[in-house]
């Protein structure tokens, strides 16, 4: 089967190549025919050798498709079910993290797309235990957005950073930033302000307006702290959601927060150091939440929020193409000319 593969270590080395068919499922596994797979920032990082991976490996973890066969001992799902997948394969199940329900950060985890073969292919064999059914009414564009939406639900809702009625500031209007804004609004934020830069004004800020967000601030043109304080009668925001990964933006987050406010850290810096105004964080008695990956409870909630229309995540999909055109979509994302790209198989498995 033709799949998109990171063939070896180093910058580049991605190509569509013939790979062995995954075969029939074993005990507790199903075979999925993949309909679509979203391009994540981690796929871009793998392209540039900036994320852990074990080549040769088929890329992609934001996939959705239809079950065509079930192995022995499958209990919940059947052929014909449409599903999305938690990317938590190879979690050991016995370490303290796994035993406390946090398989997403098990040190033995090897997710599809970097640790094992992923979803940028016509088919995959996958553990039934990591799958979530989606309704027949859900489009594939909606389905591929469940995984990134589950990240936003995990970080804002499951981790406890968000309270209905919060005044929320989102730093960074990329896909995760916009999903965080949509999640906060869907769950009862009284206001959501989105901060971006001049580079965001051609695509990302207009998309935020299209999604119904009116309070947008270009931090390179306007004084964001002054505007946020004015909007909150001098108090500051209840919750800052940091999605940019930019060291300067992270360091400046405390300026927007109220005393005893919360900062939800989502964006990765790419291992760049961050120098914080520590005393400002201390004097405001801020709570800082760090986040990584998705919790089990977030998945069905994300499915419900998207399928019910509360989070129109599919509107973030700006580019779709077959696997053979992967490079065009990757380039467009890197140049901020695309928001969310989706790849589809070109052949039946």
- Tell me the whole-structure pTM to 2 decimals: 0.96
Instruction: Dig out the tokens for 56 from the structure.
Output: 């040769």
What pLDDT does 229 receive? 97
pLDDT tens digits, residue range 245-304? Answer: 999 999 999 999 999 999 999 999 988 999 999 999 999 999 999 999 999 999 999 999
Instruction: Dig out the tokens for 139 from the structure.
Output: 């489009």
CA distances from 41 to 23, 233, 336, 343 (A): 29, 37, 12, 14
DSSP string, 62-100: EEEEEEEEE-TT--S--TT-EEEE---TT--S-SHHHHT
pLDDT tens digits, residue range 199-244? Answer: 999 999 999 999 999 999 999 999 999 999 999 999 999 999 999 9
pLDDT band at residue 160, thresholds of 50, 70 and 90? confident
Domains of the chain, with CATH numbers?
2-147+294-344 (3.90.180.10), 160-290 (3.40.50.720)
């Amino acid at each position: 089967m033709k799949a998109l593969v990171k063939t070896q270590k180093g910058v580049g080395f991605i190509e569509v190549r013939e790979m062995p068919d995954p075969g029939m499922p074993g005990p507790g596994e199903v075979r999925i025919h993949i309909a679509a797979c979203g391009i994540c920032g981690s796929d871009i990082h793998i392209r540039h050798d900036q994320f852990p991976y074990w080549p040769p490996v088929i890329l992609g973890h934001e996939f959705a498709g239809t079950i065509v066969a079930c192995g022995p001992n499958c209990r919940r799902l059947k052929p014909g079910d449409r599903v999305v997948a938690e990317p938590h394969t190879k979690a050991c199940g016995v370490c303290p993290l796994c035993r406390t329900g946090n398989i997403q950060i098990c040190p033995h985890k090897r997710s599809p797309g970097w640790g094992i073969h992923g979803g940028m292919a016509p088919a995959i064999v996958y553990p039934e235990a990591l799958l979530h059914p989606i309704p027949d009414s859900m489009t594939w564009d909606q389905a591929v957005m469940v995984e990134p939406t589950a990240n936003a639900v995990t970080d804002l809702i499951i981790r406890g950073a968000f309270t209905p009625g919060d005044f929320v500031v989102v730093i960074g209007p990329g896909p995760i930033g916009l999903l965080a804004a949509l999640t906060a609004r869907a769950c009862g934020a009284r206001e959501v302000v989105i901060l971006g830069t001049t580079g965001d004004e051609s695509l990302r800020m207009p998309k935020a307006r299209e999604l119904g967000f009116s309070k947008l601030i270009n931090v390179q043109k306007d004084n964001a702290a002054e505007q946020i304080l004015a909007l909150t009668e001098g108090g500051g925001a209840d919750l800052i959601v940091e999605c940019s990964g930019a060291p300067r933006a992270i360091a400046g987050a405390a300026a927007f927060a109220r005393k005893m406010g919360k900062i939800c850290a989502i964006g990765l810096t790419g291992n760049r150091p961050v120098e914080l105004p520590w005393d400002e964080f201390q004097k405001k008695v801020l709570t800082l939440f760090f986040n990584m990956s998705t919790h089990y409870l977030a998945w069905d909630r994300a499915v419900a929020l998207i399928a019910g229309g509360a989070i129109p995540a599919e509107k973030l999909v700006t580019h779709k193409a077959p696997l053979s055109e992967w490079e065009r979509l990757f380039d467009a994302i890197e140049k901020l000319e695309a928001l969310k790209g989706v790849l589809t198989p070109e052949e039946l498995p």
